Amino acid sequence: MINSAQINVAVMERFRRLTANHRLAHAYLLAGPQGTAKTQTAWALAQLVNCESAAVKPCGECASCRKIASGNHPDVHAIGNDEMDSIKIEDIRFLLSRAQLMAYEGKTKVFIIRNIELMTPEAANALLKTLEEPAPNTLMILTTSVPEDSLDTIKSRCHVVKFFLKKEIIPFDRKVFDEMILNRNNDAFLKELSTDPQETSKALRLLLSFFRDVLLLKSGVSKAALVHQDCLKEAEKFAARRFEDLDLIMRQIVRTKGLVDEKLNVKMSLGLLREHIWDY
């Protein structure tokens, strides 16, 4: 149930410190777009505050961690999922009726309420009262994927923890093709590339093998035989150019490679290569 690959590591680290220093507040709102690991992190937090291990928490292996992972811990309660249309006052009341009881076996009773934007106004009011008068040894973890500004009253009674989408990592190969073949105004890319000889060499090797594909295509070799199957469109476009143009490009790639090896003016040479690729 808990996928460690989907836990926000930075948030967990922060909570580990808070717990170790006994500075955990009674309510947190995990706010951020969908797909930012809020739910998984919420469950991992429930494990953290109840873990029985003396080492790094949550250990994932003690009885408490395992019960929470399987959804069977008597002191950890959750409501809200992606299929619900709304969270009603009955749902909140049922959940909160458990907040008044002593913890059965855990150190801390944990209540996870997902997608709090789905609460009806009555449900939100009931929750607000609990947030104002928290029972001892309880931890409320709320999540929302709408901007938390629209939940002012709830927000003012919780600590807000923001979750962000991680930047998509574009593979280096794709980036080279995008910048060198598809984008004429790639000054920033060329500048960055030219500061790293290894990356420059890698990029030039890629371009060389791409233009070999182009020459093969132009000589009538079938597309299936080409190396860069994800750049067939681009290869076809270049195959329409004259042999002399393509030869010029290939020679400029080789020349630039030589300059990288000798640590000479690589950036200027890359700029010239760009001119050859684009001007015909």
Which residue ranges make up the site for Zn ion (CB under 5 A)? 51, 53, 58-59, 62, 65
- For Zn ion, the closer CB: 65 or 270: 65
- For Zn ion, the closer CB: 53 or 201: 53
Smallest gap from residue 60 Cβ to Zn ion (A): 6
Quick one: tokens of 10?
Answer: 């930075």
Smallest gap from residue 51 Cβ to Zn ion (A): 3
Smallest gap from residue 58 Cβ to Zn ion (A): 5
Smallest gap from residue 112 Cβ to Zn ion (A): 17
- For Zn ion, the closer CB: 35 or 74: 74
Distance CA 142, CA 47 (A): 15
- Does residue 141 contact residue 39 with C-beta atoms inside 8 Å? no
Smallest gap from residue 186 Cβ to Zn ion (A): 50
- For Zn ion, the closer CB: 59 or 208: 59
- For Zn ion, the closer CB: 24 or 215: 24
- For Zn ion, the closer CB: 46 or 180: 46
Smallest gap from residue 52 Cβ to Zn ion (A): 5
